[in-house]
Each structure stands twice: as structure tokens, then as C-alpha cells.
Amino acid sequence: MKQKLKAVCLALSLFILLTGCSSDATSVLDPKNPVSITLWHYYVGDNKIALETAVDQFNKSMGSEKGVVVNAVAKGSIAELEKAVTDSAKGIINAEPMPDVFSAYPDKGLEINQLGKLCDLNAYFTEDEQKPYVEEFLNNGKYDNERLLSIPIVKSTELLYVNATAWNEFAAATDVNEKKLTTWEGIYETARSYYQWTDAQTPETAWDGKSFMGVDSVGNFVIIGNKQLGVEVIDGANEKAILNHDSMKKLFDFYYGGMSLGYLNAVGKFRSDDIKAGDLIAYVGSSSGAAYFPTWIEKNNTQSPIDFLALAYPVFTGGTPTAIAQGAGMSVAKSTPEKQEGAALFLKWFTTEEQNIPFAMTTGYLPVQTGAYNNTEFNASLESLRSGEAADKNVAAVYDIALNQIMDANSYSSMPFNGSYDVRTVLEKSLTTIAESGRQSAVALKEQGMTETEILEALDMNARFEEWLASVRGQFDTLGISYSDE
């Protein structure tokens, strides 16, 4: 990735787009008295370096010409960034001053807007200036179909990543077919077979099989799984949550059952960590994380190289193939006319094809302007990745699948409403918590020598499902979130 990063920095330094936020006749910017813009973000690693490179290039070119100086500040994880922004917007004691521009997901952006802190970017982006963006990406930052509160920066989707080396060994021994990995039901069956296959390798010890896969974002799993089955669990149009009994039961049986029996697992902070540790051989995760898929694993205190396989996001049998389109945009805080125009100027510059393509392609993100995908720079970057180091090749491998899911297949982003951020949080944390409880209970039952059937009967999946839904309803009631049972 180091060679690629050098190429990114070089590309960013070669392109200077000569456009402005508005005509010089109406601009409030003054090159003789430059305005300082503070930008908060959550990027790390190569993306952080690429962003800082872009900011430096902007400051030396367009920023210098127009009178804008951007200062990029990394605020940790997205959760840490969101807390910092929320504290600033609410005026919490000891909170930092509100940043001029910051990374924000739609539901968090809506929350900050309801505090009266966001600028409507329609004032700075004309209709013609909005046309180049992928329509769905831009609409993700619009509220009430009118106010433009966020500009897309990069987008990603989710894929199924597989340790191809371990998979090939397992497939050869069991005749399992890769087609099984196209559906959630097939994955569950495969995970069960993998656990049993690895368990059989140590016949002297019962129930010591290995987990097959994990899910990086349980929240996405719940939202997209419901959508595949025809349900919008986050119903932005009616500003409520939808708890559909049938679809939620399918999701629950897969995740709770799989986690309880050890067919699925979540050990490290990220599932890619679990791949590297040898705890999993597959996981569902963001296309932007392709560069972090390990090229080797720790095995018997030695590093063993592994091959990489990327597959489309799974679908529930009978459902509509659907994958998430995600990625934080950037919002501009209400402040002075100079700061607002300066922030908008940077966002225009940063999201042009010339700047956006090299930034996006450092790790597997997707550019946000339609023309980028026919751009020679995009194709050249893709070819460079294909001929690069192992991590670069992994990134290149995801693009065909990711592009198809985003541009051609059914991609989906839930429409936010006041409280939708909490809906997602409640669903994710509650399912994760009850699944962990199920795992602990199953461990004790395994030690008693129970069979799989006996364990499932003892866990009483139907009762646990109703317990989960009751917990979700209770938390929604406490938070004042409207919901409907179906």
C-alpha cells in the first residue's frame, strides 16, 4: 500500500480544479484575509494520510487563491467523532467549539440539524453543481427532499470476505459448494458443516470445532436483512421503526442460533482481526476494509500466507438481493458567511473527480461523482491496484462486485428520522447482547454433553426471540421512539 499511497499523493498534487463556490461578484471570501476552517473527521491509516495530503494541496492552491485555510483534525472513531460533535452542538460544559465542517452519517446529521446547527448547502451548490454526483449518494444527504445538509465524500457497500486458502481446504474435504455462500441460510448450513468438520479433527474432545464466519456490523445486518425481506425496519417516511415478526425471526434465528452454537463468532474489535488470528475464515464487512484483510494468519506461532476471496453480499432465500450503500458525508456548521462559503468551497474541490478518485481508491471506497467511473484516472488506479502488493490486489478484487451492488443492483440506505440513530443502536446492541448470553449458556450446555438438538431445545429459541423483541420495544418506549408491530 505504500507505493499506492505515494501515487495517491502524487495524483492529488497534480490536479487543481479552478472552480469556486459562487461568483467572485457575490463571494464574501478575501484572499488578503483568509478564513480558517476546522474539519473534524474519523479517517485513519492511508485514508487519514490521503485526506491530509488533499487538505494541504487545497490550502496551497484553491484555498490560497480564494482565501481559505483548512485544518483537518482526526477525532478517533466515528462514535468518538459523533459524540464530540454532539457535545459541541449542545454546548456541553468543556466541549470544544463546533467545527466548521465534519464527517457525519445521515441520522447523526439530522440530529445536529434539529439543534439548529447545520447549514443548508443548497445555498452554495447550484442545481448544475449537484448534477455530477451519483443521485442516490447525494439524496442520502437531503432531508424533506429539499434541504441539502450533507455532501457525499466517498461511499462503500458490504461484501462477504473469505480466507480462500482455508475455504479451499474445507471445500475439498467436504464437497461444499461456493454457491452455498450466496444465501444466509446456505451460510448457516456451511458454518455448521465447518464447525462439525473441524470438531471431528479432534475426536477426543467434543464441541471444540471452529467458527466459520462473523458479521462486522450487526446493525447493517438487521437493516439490510429486513429490507431483503420487504421490510424497512427504519421507516423514515413515517418516522417510526417497523418490527416485522417474520423477518425479525429469520434474522434472529441466524444470528442468535449461529452465535450460540459457535458457528458464528466475534472475538476481536473487527472481524478482519479474527481472520488474522485464525478464529474465523469468513466475514461480512465493508468494501472499504478490503485493504485490511490479512495476507497471512498466525498458525502454530508462524505466519502462514492466505489467499483472498470476495463475494457478493448474501441474501435471504426468497428475498430481494440488496446491499447497503453507506459512508459518511460532510456537513457544514452554521457560522459566519465566510466560514460557510469556505467550507463549501473545500467540499466542492474535494469531491471533484480529480481529487475524489485517488482519495477513494486508497482502500476500496467508491467515488461519488458519476463521471468518475468512466474516468481514465479511475481505470488507471484500478490497474495499478491489480498489479500492486497483495493488499492492493485485495482492494482491486472488491471493485467489480462493489460497483455492481452500488450502481446496478439494489443498494439501500435507510431514510433517517428523529430517533433513527437510536433505532439502529438499540437493534444492534440488543441482538449482540442476547446472542452473547446465548453463547455463554450454550457453552455450559456443551460441557454437560448435550447434543445440538438438546442445546437448541434448552435455549428455547422462540422464547428468546420474544424476549429480544420485548427488550427492543421497552427501549423504544423509554427513548420515545414510535414503532409498529407486524
For the stretch 450-474, pLDDT in tens is: 999 999 999 999 999 999 999 999 9
- pLDDT digits 0-9 by tens, 173-188: 999 999 999 999 999 9
Same domain, 183 and 111: no
401 occurs within a structural domain: no
**Is the domain of 231 the same as that of 266?**
yes
Answer yes or no: is 334 within a domain.
Answer: yes
Which residues does 334 contact at the CB level (< 8 Å), separation at least 6?
A: 116, 117, 118, 119, 340
| Residue 137's CATH number | 3.40.190.10
The answer to the question of residue 352 being in a domain is yes
Most confident range (mean pLDDT) of 19-28, 222-231, 382-391, 411-420 is: 222-231
**Average pLDDT rounded to a whole number, residues 37-42:** 96
> What confidence score (pLDDT) does residue 215 get?
97
Report the alpha-carbon distance of residue 280 to residue 473 in Å, rounded.
33
Q: Could you tell me the three cell numbers for 272?
A: 478482519
pLDDT recorded at residue 232: 97
The answer to whether residues 430 and 475 touch, using CB atoms and an 8 Å cutoff, is: yes
pLDDT at 237 over 60: yes
- Given a cut of 50, is residue 20 above it in pLDDT? no
Q: Do both 136 and 177 map to the same domain?
A: no
Q: pLDDT per residue over 371-400, tens digit each?
A: 998 889 888 888 988 898 888 888 888 988
Q: Considering its fold, how many domains does the chain have in total?
A: 2
Could you tell me which residues come within 8 angstroms of residue 263 by beta carbon, excluding any fewer than 6 positions away? Answer: 188, 191, 192, 194, 195, 211, 212, 257
Whole-number pLDDT of residue 17: 34
Higher per-residue confidence, 289 vs 87: 87
Please state, in angstroms and rounded to a whole number, the distance separating the CA atoms of residues 91 and 106.
Answer: 21
Query: Does residue 260 form part of some domain?
Result: yes
Residues 308 and 343 in one domain: no
> Is 474 a member of any domain?
yes
Enter the pTM of the model.
0.87
Bridge partners of 297? 304
Q: Same structural domain for residues 245 and 320?
A: yes
Helix (H, G, I), strand (E, B) or coil at 239: coil
Q: What is the pLDDT of residue 246?
A: 98
Q: Is the pLDDT of residue 19 over 90?
A: no
My answer on whether 297 and 204 are in the same domain is yes
- pLDDT at residue 9, as a whole number: 46
Sign of CA dihedral 376, 381, 157, 261: positive
Do 457 and 471 lie in one domain? The reply is yes
* Any domain includes 407: no
- Which pLDDT does position 299 carry in this prediction? 75
pLDDT at 340: 97
pLDDT value at residue 157: 93
Looking at 340, 370, 386, which one is the last position of a domain?
386
Strands, E assignment, 4-157: 35-41, 68-74, 101-104, 142-143, 147-148, 151-152
Mean pLDDT of the chain: 90
Name the pLDDT band for 363 (thresholds 50, 70, 90): low
**251 lies in which domain range?**
158-324+414-485
Say yes or no to pLDDT of 122 above 90: yes
Query: Both 134 and 216 in a single domain?
Result: no
Q: Contact at 8 Å (CB) between 158 and 284?
A: yes
172, part of any domain: yes
Q: Are residues 114 and 238 in the same domain?
A: no
Q: What is the pLDDT of residue 23?
A: 37
Packed helices 245-261 and 461-479: angle between N→C axes, nearest 10 degrees = 120
State mean pLDDT over 164-172. Answer: 97
Single out the residue in 343, 368, 386 at which a domain terminates. 386
Q: Are residues 198 and 80 in the same domain?
A: no
The sign of the CA dihedral 364, 366, 372, 374 is positive
Tell me if 167 is assigned to some domain.
yes
Same domain, yes or no: 202 and 217: yes
| % of the chain residues with pLDDT over 70 | 94
Same domain assignment for residues 119 and 34: yes
Could you read off the pLDDT of 248-298 as tens digits, one per residue? Answer: 999 999 999 999 999 999 998 889 999 999 999 999 999 988 888 999 998
Look up cell 447493517; give the residue: 220
